[in-house]
Amino acid sequence: MAETKGVPKKTIKTIKDIFTAIGRRKTAIARVKLVLGSGKITINDKEIANPSRIYTEPLKITGYDKKVDCFVKVSGGGLVSQEGAIKLGVARALEKIQPDLHKTLKVEGFLTRDPRMKERKKPGLKGARRAPQWQKR
């Protein structure tokens, strides 16, 4: 089976059947593709058997959990950040499928990008805010 941008060719009917979106959290980036299908979730080319994680919440609330196949490429960050990035990407892709879902997704907080990032190290300090130990003599 030949692959086109991470989506098997058998599931593609036309190019309009693929809905893509990007989700980010901290340093994690998730590229999400939704294709009309049976509800399979594939993350980094591995099919997830029991997807009962945080990233399936937008699908469950909108009723698309058994209607679309989800193909995700995620990199960077830790597991929690990756899950948050996938959740945002899935919500943005669902909004492209049906723009009427915007209000539902926004009220639930799925379209809000978490702005918290690691603070950069400043010159003259040991870390972002940690000053060198003070020495009296």
Alpha-carbon gap, residue 52 to 62, rounded angstroms: 15
pLDDT tens track, the chain, 137 positions = 455 566 655 554 555 689 999 999 999 999 999 998 888 999 999 998 887 788 889 999 999 988 899 999 999 999 999 999 999 999 999 999 999 999 999 999 999 999 999 999 999 999 999 999 999 98
Which tokens is 36 given?
């009309």
Alpha-carbon gap, residue 130 to 125, rounded angstroms: 6
What residues contact residue 79 under an 8 Å CB cut-off, 6+ apart?
Answer: none
Alpha-carbon gap, residue 65 to 69, rounded angstroms: 8
Region of residue 16 (phi > 0: left; psi between -120 and 50: alpha; otherwise: beta): alpha
The pTM of the full predicted model, rounded to 2 decimals, is: 0.81
- Per residue in 80-94, pLDDT (tens digit) is 999 999 999 999 999
- Per residue in 53-64, pLDDT (tens digit) is 888 899 999 999
